[in-house]
Structures are given as structure tokens and as C-alpha cells.
Homo-oligomer: A and B are copies of this chain.
Amino acid sequence: MVDPSDANLPPADTAAPSVTVHDVAREAGVSQSAVSRAFTPGSSLAADKRERIIAAAARLGYRPNPLARSLIRGRSGIVGVGVGNLANPFFVETLQLLSDCLDRTGLRLMLFPAQGEPSIQDVLHYRIDALVLLSVSLSSMLATECRRAGVPIILYNRTTDQRETSCVVGDNAIGARSVAAHLLAGGHQRLAFMAGSPDASTNIEREAGFTAYLAEQGHPAPLRECGHFAFDAAMAATRRLLLRPDRPDALFCANDTMALAAVTVARHEFGLDVGREISIVGYDDVPMAAWPGFALTSYSQPASLMVDETVRLIHALRQSPKSHEAVVCPGTLVIRGSSRPVRVEQFTR
């Protein structure tokens, strides 16, 4: 426990007084303005003097105070990142990549839970350069808040009908159609779709693409259950599907977490040989999908590319706040053992 007596000690400003522009100016024999200019690319300053200042700064271990700089520039070099549920490894990978990539380009990453709208208010007051929403839908209230504060929003893996909002997404339509084509090529007859959150744009687009392709090929609409993008809910949804008299022989899940749940239930509770008696396909291609125990066929979203595009977009928006974009990144169908790749004669049950 904290010793209460310690609390009576003076504030204990043990922090060494930080070295400021003035210290550097004195050391280099120039004005404070010159030092500031030395650290501002593109400002008018003689080359030799700039060098001398940089040298003096290095000698003293000086670095510009980002808080003071932010205060005057009106932007902090911080990017706010709102996350919802990190249960999906795809977003974990994204977060890690985003952290690296922002860091490398000199931006800081402020993480906050996107549930509590009040906290977003606080984050906005840091004069952040951009707001990235990871796996989170955009409320129109937040949109107007940001517009008023002049903070550009980038939706990651979500779309919206809000104007002036950028987004970076995978090609859900093409992805879902690829999966449908793959399953039809495998000779499957009774297809099912497991939805995630019904109102998430990713889910809507994937479901629409899947269903549309089946219809185009003259197939009936797939069975449908909702797994809410979650493992437990997906287990329950899978049970409902597999207990039907017209049990499906192929199941496309709107993300891998649900697909892994489906594989687990099909194999352990129904004793099915996944990949032969039933094909199961996921979306995202998370690391676990490649584990030998699952060998999950999955449509791979290119997290690395999507993150690169996101960061590129952030920098573009820093330059010109109007340059909104909707970036769509292509993915790849990764075929593994959980789905039958080619048509074979029908199994008897």
C-alpha cells in the first residue's frame, strides 16, 4: 500500500528541468527564433547556422516540446484511435501495424475505447490530426463533433454514408463472391451464411455479395443465422444450423472468429469431418486460421496494406483537410482444408 506519510512530502519535482529553446540559443549564440527555425523544415535559416544549432541541441540533448508546439500550431501530431472489441485478431494485427507505421512517420497514437462518447470529446481536445475508428460504426453526432473541430475521420473496415468521411476497407463484395464461387465449385448444394452484427457495413456487404452471387448462379438464398461476430454466439448459431433437417453442407461465416467456432462445433459436437462432410469458410484470415488444427479456408484481408493506406491518408489529410477518400483494398481467397476445393460425388449421411 501507499504510505500515507509520503503524501505529505512536497510535490517532489524530481524531474530535471527540461532543456528549452533558450538554453540552446544561449549555447549556440543565436536567438530563440533561430533555434525554433532550425527545427522547422522549410523555414528561412542559413545552412551553417542551422548546423551549428543542431549541434548545440544535440550537445544539450534538446528536443522541441511537443506540447508547446501543439499549442501554437493547433495540431498535435497525435492520431486518435478508437477501438471497440479487440476479440478479433484481425484488429489486433491492425493495431500493432498501425502503431508501428504511425511511429515510423513521426505521429503518436492515442488509444481510447470507442464506447464512451464522452471520452472521445476529451480526445478531440488534444487537437488530434485525425480520428481512426477501428471496427466501430460512426454515430452522426460524433461526425458533426469532428467536423466542427476540424478533425478528419477515417473509418477502418467500415463504410458510412456520412459525407466528408474517409474510409479504408477490403473489397467485401468481391471477397464474398469469391467465397460463393469457391463453394459452388466444390459442388455444395445447401449453403448457409452466418452473419455478424446485422448492421455492420462489413456484414451487410459480405452478405449481399454472397447472396447476390448465388442468385446469379440460379441457387436459392442461403440459410442464415446470426453469430454477432462472437465465438459463443457463433457456436449457438452453428448448433441451430446443424440441427436442421436440411442441414447445410457449406457455411460461410462473416469473420474467422465465428468460423472457428463453427469448425469447433461441427467437429466436436456433431462429429462431422470438416472439409469433407461440410465445408466452412471464414473471412479475415487471422493467424489461427492457418493452425493445423483448423486449416480454415478464409478470405484474407490485407491488414498491412490497409494500414499503409490509412497512414498515407492521414498524412494527405494533414496537408489538405479536404482530400477525403474511400480506399478499397483487394484481398485473396486462401484455400485450406476446411473446404472441399472441387466437386466430388455426394456423401451419404
Contact = CB atoms under 8 A, between A and B. Distances in A.
A87 B71 CA distance: 37
A149 B287 CA distance: 39
Contacts of A122: 63, 66, 108
A185 interface: no
A349 B307 CA distance: 51
Contacts of A2: 316, 319-320, 323, 325
A65 B110 contact: no
B125 A65 contact: yes
A95 B86 contact: yes
Interface stretch (A13-21, A153-161, A174-182, A191-199): A13-21
Q: How large is the interface on A (under 10, 10 to 19, 20 to 34, 35 or more residues)?
A: 35 or more
A231 B150 contact: no
Nearest to A8: B320
Contact of A6 (B64, B93, B104, B323): B323
A293 B267 contact: yes
Specify the main secondary structure of chain A where it touches its partner: mixed
A74 B15 contact: yes
A149 B320 contact: no
A52 to B, nearest CB: 22
A293 B322 contact: no
B67 A71 contact: yes
Nearest to A103: B119
A320 B67 contact: no
A272 B36 CA distance: 68
B76 A86 contact: no
A8 to B, nearest CB: 9
Interface string A226-257: 00000100000000000000000000000000
A267 B322 CA distance: 56
Contacts of A16: 148-150
Interface of A: 2-3, 6-7, 9, 12-16, 18, 63-68, 70-71, 74, 76, 78, 81, 83, 85-87, 92-93, 95-96, 99-100, 103-104, 108-113, 116, 119, 121-123, 125-127, 148-151, 231, 260, 263-265, 267-269, 287-288, 291-293, 316, 319-323, 325
Please list the 4 inter-chain residue pairs (A to B) with the smallest Cβ-Cβ separation, ordered nearest first: A15-B150, A6-B320, A2-B316, A264-B293
20 contacts: A2-B316, A6-B322, A6-B323, A9-B322, A15-B150, A18-B125, A18-B149, A63-B125, A67-B67, A67-B126, A71-B71, A83-B99, A86-B92, A87-B287, A103-B112, A103-B116, A110-B111, A260-B291, A264-B291, A293-B293
